[in-house]
Amino acid sequence: MNKALPALLGVALACCFAPPSQAQDLTGTLKKIKETGQITVAHRESSIPFSYLDDKQQPIGYSMDICAKVVDAVKAELKMPNLKVVYQPVTSSNRIPLLQNGTIDIECGSTTNSVERQKLVAFGPTYFRIQVTAAVKKSSNINSLADLNGKNISTTSGTTAVPLLKAYEKTKNVDVKEIYGKDHAESFLLLAEDRVVAFVMDDILLAGQIANSRSPGDYKILNESLRAEPYGPMIRKDDPQFKALLDKTLTALYKSPEMERIYNKWYMSPIPPKGVNLNFPMTPQLKADFAAPNDKGV
């Protein structure tokens, strides 16, 4: 017998049972989750139908269903089936700071993926596309964005709506006074109470507020669009392990029949709390996004 064979076998066995290399060690958000035993999911309180509270004050919505798939993937990746899931409400103003300081691990709401925001945070693949426009009362005689000149408008703090309105070519000479709501429900209430003549926001969020209002027939959404914007889940910047898991999970989801079921659940079926059907069919652009998932910002 070759005297060197036992030694070689020993080396081989040592290699087989050696601990993972440093390159395979957990980093970033996955390391934090493993060490703390919990993942903190941020949600909105009134971003219907993306992320909002039901009549039992529990966070539900389209974005929440999608992020639940990410949570399941984290549990599997870390081999932590009993991982604690903590839900943290956020607003348009504090969602990015709370992500950056580690209070939350992923934000599942109605956040626009913009090139400017990508300097601060990262996004997963797009799960919705919206048009930024305005909701008004039908009795207001406002039929275009230019008609807002000299009027009070509402929007939600920390959103992209007002800068877009001011930059819009057809409204560069329009002078408006903005009143900011802390969330979309408060911004819509300003319109409902006639403290403003328009609520400038993303079309589907406007549709959600109108559908759940006391008198949906009193309102209309203007046909003009300030900009088309992609929504996606938001995570910390420079976190390649978590980003890779997020992208892999959502790419598989988007290309599966499950994605259409999730979409139809929230946009083509009655939803809580009032059983209203938004009847908002999937657009060709969103179908293209699901066929070729991407995280391109606007």
Domains (range + CATH), the chain: 27-127+232-291 (3.40.190.10), 131-229 (3.40.190.10)
The whole-model pTM stands at 0.83
| Coil/strand/helix, residue 41 | strand
From first to last of the 298 residues of the chain, give the pLDDT tens digit: 555 444 444 444 444 443 333 346 999 999 999 999 999 999 999 999 999 999 999 999 999 999 999 999 999 999 999 999 999 999 999 999 999 999 999 999 999 999 999 999 999 999 999 999 999 999 999 999 989 999 999 999 988 887 887 787 566 677 889 999 999 999 999 999 999 999 999 999 999 999 999 999 999 999 998 989 999 999 999 999 999 999 999 999 999 999 999 999 999 999 998 899 998 999 999 999 999 999 999 9
Nearest to 293 by CA among 240, 258, 253, 262: 253
Nearest to 136 by CA among 86, 176, 87: 176
Radius of gyration of the chain from Cα atoms? 23
